[in-house]
Structure 1
Amino acid sequence: MSWSEYLREIAQRFDEAAEELTSVFELPADLLNDITEEDGETVSGTGSFLSEKEQLIEEDEEDERILRGVNLNDQDSVRKKIQEIQSKKQFDEKRKASVMQKLLMSGYVKYRKDKKQSTETNEDGLNLKDIEPSFHDKEYEIYGCKHYMRNCKKQCADCKQWFPCRLCHNEASDHTLNRNATENMLCMFCLKSQPAAANCKYCRKSMARYYCNKCKLWDDDPSKSSYHCDDCGICRIGRGVGDDYYHCKTCGICLPIAVYDTHRCIERSTDCNCPICGEYMFNSTERVVFLPCSHPLHQRCYGDYIKTNYRCPTCSKTIINVNSMFRILDMEVERQPMPYPYNTWISTIHCNDCSSRSDTNYHFLGHKCKSCHSYNTCISSIYKPLDHPQVSIPRLATAEDAGMRRLMGHSWDSSDDEFGMFRF
């Protein structure tokens, strides 16, 4: 006898035994009344048991309403809830202790519940967490995650866990998902696991508008167009190489065709982190832009950065037109001359725009490059004549500066007297 035949025989015997049993509701009415009268105490006991059970259910529902919204990670929130429970006069001490126990054990209960759900599997070996659909926009029932719109999940080839995308996997795991090694997907419509493809082989529905079999990438966002670059080895946002992008061999990245003639190559320029947010830029899902100095950063980061700065965060060159601001600085420097002894200082500056070095008069507002007239400069050193008494100080032009010089304890020579600087 085979195993299936043995199980079939056992099931048949159970059916026969069930047919022989007679339900109490099928007994004659007079016999049923006699049993009820003889077992009156039993029946009343059953009723009391049901009423107690209903009361416990009501108490559990009330306890759930009381404990709703408590953050167990916030000690103040837990303390206030305990004080609230203690202040309820309608509860006896036993009930208060029970509610507080439920409060303190709620985190462990949730953990056990989630763990139980994660271990229960279906016929495909998927647990409840795996087959639970994830949403890009739950209100409009758009499947996916915060990174992508797609109608499927992908399985990591290393840990065998299911995630909406590789970025969600990397955020929750201690290793990165190898997109090229991905083999399986899970359809969020029929919840069936299957080999990665553009359409579900069970319900025949499309997983996304764009699918790359090399990267195992699904993207259902109608506002984006994507293409695969074999030189980059990944998918990029755009219409394609030769259409609106070209691949620069030196930079190792796809660039807009519009910058083909003006772009200055920097070898492997995107093989680094964004200087603003710190995210790796080569395979970033955010759009990357190139500054006039050819250094890259995220477009979103660029928009926030130029609100407070006009220099490249990598090389400090000027990245926007600030000539009007520099000309305003010219007028302010001329309007506010430096007092003695600061008007004797000489600053050696380095220009971030033209990389030249020059000497100029010290001024607290800024130092103008003598080559390109830019104020995007930094001070290399400051020469202070007062620190070198053997070197003559330039003649001063006003009695006010001469008096300040006198207070500073600096000796004066006959040349100063020729200008009448100490004749008040």
Structure 2
Amino acid sequence: MGEVAVMHSEPLQFECNDRKLITEKDVHNLPSNEERMHGEKSSQSPDHKKINDLRERGYMEYGCQHYRRRCHIRAPCCNEIFDCRHCHNEAKNSIDIDQKHRHDIPRHQVKQVICSLCETEQEVQQNCINCGVCMGKYFCGTCKLFDDDVSKQQYHCSGCGICRTGGSENFFHCYKCGCCYSTLLKTVTLAWEEQCIKIV
């Protein structure tokens, strides 16, 4: 995989209405991406609207075959840069790699990401500290997961300890067997706990 140039530039300032300078601090004071995903209304000044437009730059234009996202990750295991954990695992478990050097990325240990737009390396967070762009409309700080394609209805299951797709309202976690199941199964099974024991 080709190398990604990493820059550590000064925080950007954006001029709005020809009068006021808006900095990255203003960008992070905007309503959250999660609020906008769920259509929650918020009153925004013209300056905030302009910053919001800046935040949305590159939406669905970056990423890899696994995720649409606006950042790369630095793998904590080998200190190399990849588009996502799947890209890392495919590259590092290739038959071209000596078997004793093959490994998967410990995804929960990822600490650094690189913005795809301004190439600033930074700690894991949803919005770039330099240019303010949202690096993934869906963001999980636990799994270090970024994804602009929210049609998957991603959600984090604390019981499983990972992010899943399909919408949290459509699944429930069974703490007896440690798995997630469709809520349809729970509604048609009157004594779910008893059934769960039988399944296990």
> Same fold per TM (> 0.5)?
yes
- Using the alignment, how far apart are the partners of 1:259 and 1:220 within structure 2? 30
Do the aligned partners of residues 183 and 254 (structure 1) sit closer, same or farther apart at CA in structure 2, a change above 3 Å counting? Answer: same
Q: 1:239, CA displacement in angstroms?
A: 2.6
Q: Call closer, same or farther: CA 1:229–1:122 in 2, change over 3 Å.
A: closer
Unaligned stretches of 5+ in structure 1?
1-113, 125-139, 268-424
Report the equivalent of 2:165. Answer: 237
Question: Cα 1:122–1:179, aligned 2, differ >3 Å: closer, same or farther?
Answer: closer
Which amino acid counterpart does residue 154 of structure 2 have in structure 1?
S
Could you say if the C-alpha distance between residues 182 and 251 of structure 1 is closer, same or farther in structure 2, counting changes exceeding 3 Å? Answer: same
Selected match of 1:258 from 168, 184, 189: 184
2:78 and 2:64 map into 1 onto residues whose CA distance is 20
Distance 1:234 1:141 in 2: 23
- Corresponding residue pairs, total: 134
Taking a change above 3 Å as real, the CA distance of residues 161 and 248 of structure 1, as seen in their structure-2 partners, is: same
Shift of 1:250: 3.1
Q: Which runs of 5+ in 2 are unaligned?
A: 9-58, 93-101
Q: CA deviation at 1:227?
A: 1.1
Preserved CA contact (<8 Å) 2:73 2:81:
yes
C-alpha offsets along residues 72-130 of structure 1, whole Å, 9 cap, x if unaligned?
xxxxxxxxxxxxxxxxxxxxxxxxxxxxxxxxxxxxxxxxxx9xx75x96666xxxxxx
Distance 1:231 1:179 in 2: 17
Return the alpha-carbon distance in structure 2 between the equivalents of residues 259 and 121 of structure 1: 49
Q: Partners of 2:147 and 2:63 in 1: how far apart?
A: 9
The match for 1:210 is 138
- Is 1:144 aligned with 2:72? no
1:222 alignment partner in structure 2? 150
- Cα distance in 2 between the residues matched to 1:220 and 1:121: 23
Q: Which position in structure 2 is the counterpart of 1:165? A: 84
Distance 2:126 2:65 in 1: 21
Structure 2 matches for 1:49-88, cutoff 5 A? none
Residues 193 and 123 (structure 1), Cα distance of their counterparts in 2 relative to 1, 3 Å cut: closer
Instruction: Mark the CA change 1:190 to 1:259 in structure 2 (over 3 Å): closer, same or farther.
Output: same
TM-score normalised per structure 2: 0.60
Which structure is higher in strand share?
2
Query: Partner of 2:150: helix, strand, or coil?
Result: coil
Q: Which has the higher contact order (CA 8 A, sep 6+)?
A: 2
TM-score when scaled to structure 1? Answer: 0.30
Which letter does structure 2 place at the counterpart of 1:247?
A: H
* Cα separation, 1, equivalents of 2:165 and 2:175: 18
Match of 1:319 in 2: none
CA distance in structure 2 between the partners assigned to 1:121 and 1:200 by the alignment: 16
Distance verdict in 2 for CA 1:254–1:167, change over 3 Å: same
Structure 2 distance, partners of 1:150, 1:205, is 11
- Residues 1:123 and 1:207: Cα distance change in structure 2 (over 3 Å): closer
CA shift for structure 1 position 177: 0.7
Letter of the 2:137 counterpart: R
Q: 1:192 and 1:217 mapped to 2: Cα distance?
A: 18
Query: Do the aligned residues in 1 keep the contact of 2:136 with 2:148 (CA within 8 Å)?
Result: yes
The structure in which a higher percent of residues are helix is 1
How large is the RMSD of aligned CA atoms in angstroms? 2.5
1:225 deviates by 1.2
Matches within 5 A, 1:243-322: 243-260=169-186, 261-262=188-189, 264-265=195-196, 266-267=199-200
Q: Does 1:187 align with 2:106?
A: no
Matches for 1:264-413 after TM superposition, within 5 Å: 264-265=195-196, 266-267=199-200
Higher mean Cα deviation, 173-182 or 258-267? 258-267
> CA distance change for structure 1 residues 200 and 121 in 2, over 3 Å: closer, same or farther?
closer
CA distance in 2, matches of 1:194, 1:122: 10
Distance 1:123 1:164, change over 3 A: closer
Q: Give percent identity, aligned residues only.
A: 40
